Structure 1
Amino acid sequence: MRILIVTDAWRPQVNGVVRTLTETARELAGFGHTVEFVTPQDFTTLPCPTYPDIRLSLFPGRRVAQRIETFAPHAIHIATEGPLGLAARGYCMKKKRPFTTAYHTRFPEYVHARVKLPVKVSYAWLRRFHNAGRAVMAPTRSICDDLTTRGFNNVVLWSRGVDTELFTPGERDRLATAPPRFVYIGRVAVEKNIEAFLKLDLPGSKWVVGEGPLLPRLKKDYPDVYFAGVFPQHELARFYRAGDVFVFPSLTDTFGLVLLEAMACGTPVAAYPVAGPLDVVGDSGAGVLDWDLKKACLEALTLDREHVRRVAERFSWTAAARQFEANLHARALPETALATQQG
């Protein structure tokens, strides 16, 4: 099957969407599929207001249409709701081509955190965007249920995985600061609620690994916190291992791949009991979920790191890609219909 994935989120961004798409494409190629991407790298772009690391493609409609027609995919998957996603959706609607979409990010909550646009306005727009497709793929059961409650149609599960060969227990010498070491790894942006972690009165030391628009202010406001930059995955594994607790203060993530990466390294999680942590950690014993984040951090120190690793081993990118593949098969354009359209 020829699969075209259209995404506004792509390298050099380092985030869960990019990680998910690259790992899924790798697995799909191993299954024998041909996968091609339409990304901002192929277009003239400008920086997204309030988040310059995200590049917005300018006037992509004609080139997106050309890419689709040249590749002649059996399945079109629109991963994001940005300019490229809108262009691909417009083409599919005009040509009556089936497509699927994905809900990677709580976009309404993120927009509200930045510009205070009511979430009901954003959700109304997202319903219109996604309900035009054959299915919208969401990463957890709780997110599927939430979207269905909000009026989204044909919501199906597409879970996530972790590379258990890259993210492994091992030497814990990366952070030469006072123990216990509490670590956050991820985007440094307002929607991640990082200050809920940084404000805590905790023993030992705190680390923030990553970058984003909030970083300069956090460095200024929290001089006692250790801030590291962006690192390749193999180096991130060393940060995860060295942490005594991985702190995940987000209230809006749909999954949280970093949770699995930390757990695969044997590092227990402290988080709020919200979608994402509830689905990934739950009552597995791999972390502590509590509305009192300080309590969660301190209790997580007592967890067995070998057990934490075993919980992470339940997740795999192969299984997640098989879900994606099954969702596409059920809604892809049959080859006979494709030949008719091309003719």
Structure 2
Amino acid sequence: MRLLIATDAWHPQVNGVVRSLEHMAQAGRGLGVDPVFLTHQDFPSLPLPGYPEIRLAYAARRKLEARLAAIAPTHIHIATEGTVGYAARRCCLAQGRPFTTSYHTRFPEYLAARAPVPQAWSYAWLRRFHGAASGTMVSTPSLERELTGRGFTNLMRWTRGVDTDLFRPQDSDALEGLRRPLFLFVGRLAVEKNVAAFLALDLPGTKVVVGDGPDRARLAALAPEARFLGTRTGVDLARIYAAADVFVFPSLTDTFGIVLLEALACGLPVAAYPVTGPVDVVGETGAGVLDADLRRAALAALSIPRARCREEALRYTWAESARQFYANVELAHQRGASRERTEKSTAAGMVELG
């Protein structure tokens, strides 16, 4: 399989989409898959106003067709609904190529948080975008149920994983000197992440924020007592998780939350709202507390044994995530190819009858 992955989410962005795709590519090479990425780096692009790490690419049709011809993929996956993803979709439809998509981001909610755009309009556009795919991958059962209720079809489950060798319980002095208990947030500092709700909580000890984004200055002004550490990755990030006491996940719009798994793998209990993502990852496992009162959840999570959190994280592996991903790609490709053959056969029959 030579798989083309078209994605608008790519470096220098640091987020769950990029990490998931990187892990899929790494695992794919061990499964006999040759993954090739098509990103904003392949085309002229401009920074998104107010969010410069996101690039808006101008993927001209002829240049895109030339790239596809040079890559010669056997399968195509469109990871995002941005300018690169839309251009790849348009090209696939014009050439009669089957393709898969994935639903990573709640764009209707994100857009509504920034502009007066009705969510119904955005969901209608997304239904049309994904409706042309032979399969659309979703990360959790609750998200699958929600999107089915909104009229999405051909949904396929694709869970996520965590590197439990990197993210593990350990003695760490990464947050030494800060007053305990230590309540940690890790993620992009943008309005849709609802970080302000975390910073507004009346909690003992210290709030620690890891990440960066367009909302950092506003959030820092809201909570001058909180510690903002900027973007951290790899071993550095793992040591911060291991040093904290509770991971607070205030998002109401994430479709999964890989940071939840990273925290749990380090033995860090989770406090979150009972919404898609936390409901599926934490749920009734005992590895965290879900409550509409986030302060109550954060305080209750302090009593959760760290070993229970680690035990839950061990259920998730990138190997299983990759197995699901590539099985979905192959199944959807066969489904799309079969549909294409049927449509051509029907068209030929009609011509003969005519």
Q: TM-score range by the shorter chain?
A: over 0.9
Alignment correspondent of 1:134: 134
CA contact 1:6–1:77 (8 Å) conserved in 2: yes
1:49 equivalent to 2:54? Answer no
Whole-angstrom distance in 1 between the partners of 2:326 and 2:286 = 31
Alignment correspondent of 1:162: 162
Letter in 1 for 2:155: V
CA contact 1:60–1:84 (8 Å) conserved in 2: no
Give how far 1:221 is off: 1.9
Q: Higher Cα Rg: structure 1 or 2? A: 2
Structure 1, residues 286-321: CA drift from partner, whole Å, max 9, x if none?
100000101100110000001110100000011011
Alignment correspondent of 1:323: 324
Give the % identical residues: 55
Determine helix, strand or coil for the equivalent of 2:114: helix
Letter in 1 for 2:93: M
Whole-angstrom distance in 2 between the partners of 1:126 and 1:274 = 21
CA contact 2:113–2:192 (8 Å) conserved in 1: yes
Give how far 1:63 is off: 2.3
Further displaced range: 244-253 or 71-80: 71-80
Give how far 1:232 is off: 2.3
Whole-angstrom distance in 2 between the partners of 1:61 and 1:234 = 42
Whole-angstrom distance in 1 between the partners of 2:146 and 2:64 = 31
CA contact 2:99–2:134 (8 Å) conserved in 1: yes
Alignment correspondent of 1:201: 202
Q: What are structure 1's unaligned runs of at least 5 residues?
A: none
CA contact 2:199–2:222 (8 Å) conserved in 1: no
Whole-angstrom distance in 2 between the partners of 1:55 and 1:301 = 40
1:247 equivalent to 2:248? Answer yes
1:17 equivalent to 2:17? Answer yes
Determine helix, strand or coil for the equivalent of 1:332: helix
Alignment correspondent of 1:307: 308
Give how far 1:333 is off: 5.8
Give how far 1:36 is off: 0.4
Alignment correspondent of 1:2: 2
CA contact 1:246–1:262 (8 Å) conserved in 2: yes
Determine helix, strand or coil for the equivalent of 2:37: strand
Letter in 1 for 2:135: A
CA contact 1:97–1:333 (8 Å) conserved in 2: no
CA contact 1:74–1:333 (8 Å) conserved in 2: no
Alignment correspondent of 1:111: 111
Whole-angstrom distance in 1 between the partners of 2:239 and 2:163 = 14
CA contact 2:16–2:257 (8 Å) conserved in 1: yes
Letter in 2 for 1:173: D
Determine helix, strand or coil for the equivalent of 1:258: helix
1:256 equivalent to 2:257? Answer yes
Whole-angstrom distance in 1 between the partners of 2:307 and 2:82 = 41
Q: What are structure 2's unaligned runs of at least 5 residues?
A: 342-354
Give how far 1:68 is off: 1.5
Alignment correspondent of 1:235: 236
Further displaced range: 238-247 or 324-333: 324-333
Whole-angstrom distance in 1 between the partners of 2:272 and 2:149 = 25
Further displaced range: 229-238 or 131-140: 229-238
* 1:176-191 alignment runs, 5 A limit: 176=176, 177-191=178-192
Whole-angstrom distance in 2 between the partners of 1:116 and 1:275 = 24
Structure-2-length-normalised TM-score: 0.93
Alignment correspondent of 2:346: none
1:153 equivalent to 2:147? Answer no
Determine helix, strand or coil for the equivalent of 1:182: strand
Further displaced range: 209-218 or 60-69: 60-69
Structure 1, residues 219-256: CA drift from partner, whole Å, max 9, x if none?
11211111011122221111111110000000000000
1:286 equivalent to 2:287? Answer yes
Whole-angstrom distance in 1 between the partners of 2:99 and 2:298 = 43
Alignment correspondent of 1:102: 102
Structure 1, residues 127-168: CA drift from partner, whole Å, max 9, x if none?
110001101101101111111110111011011000001101
Letter in 1 for 2:320: A
Determine helix, strand or coil for the equivalent of 1:114: coil
Structure-1-length-normalised TM-score: 0.96
Determine helix, strand or coil for the equivalent of 1:137: strand
Give how far 1:53 is off: 1.4
CA contact 2:173–2:243 (8 Å) conserved in 1: yes
Further displaced range: 67-76 or 136-145: 67-76
Give how far 1:49 is off: 2.4
Determine helix, strand or coil for the equivalent of 2:63: helix
Determine helix, strand or coil for the equivalent of 2:256: coil
Relative to 1, partners in 2 of residues 1:59 and 1:68: Cα closer, same or farther, differing over 3 Å?
closer
Aligned length: 337
Give how far 1:61 is off: 2.7
Give how far 1:13 is off: 0.6
Letter in 1 for 2:291: D
Alignment correspondent of 2:276: 275
Whole-angstrom distance in 2 between the partners of 1:271 and 1:98 = 38
